[in-house]
Amino acid sequence: MKKEYDFTNAERGKFYHPGVTLNIPIYLEADNMAFVEQLAAKKQVDVSRIVNDLIKGDRQLADILA
């Protein structure tokens, strides 16, 4: 890193976009990923849909148990 940076021509807020939703990456263990990929291939849907469906089911179960 430099000791000092020149921000004289900088523009405040140039990359700020209110309301933007960030999609963070989720990393699965190898055996879980293989399971999800297998289900996705069997149902001919995207892996993210399978993961979301599994999480929705777990949330419903958690609500019942709470």
Asked, for residue 25, whether it belongs to a domain, the answer is: no
Band (66; pLDDT cuts 50, 70, 90): confident
Is there a contact between 40 and 50 (Cβ–Cβ < 8 Å)?
Answer: yes
Q: What is the pLDDT of residues 12-30, one digit of tens each?
A: 999 999 999 988 899 999 9
pTM of the model: 0.63
Is there a contact between 19 and 30 (Cβ–Cβ < 8 Å)?
Answer: no
Q: Which tokens sit at 19?
A: 């309301």
Band (64; pLDDT cuts 50, 70, 90): confident
Tell me, what's the pLDDT at 23? Answer: 87
Residue 37 CA to residue 64 CA, distance in Å, equals 28
Enclosing domain of residue 35:
30-65
Residue 40 CA to residue 35 CA, distance in Å, equals 9
Q: What is the pLDDT of residues 22-63, one digit of tens each?
A: 888 999 999 999 999 999 999 999 999 999 999 999 999 888
Asked, for residue 52, whether it belongs to a domain, the answer is: yes
User: Domain count of the chain?
Assistant: 1
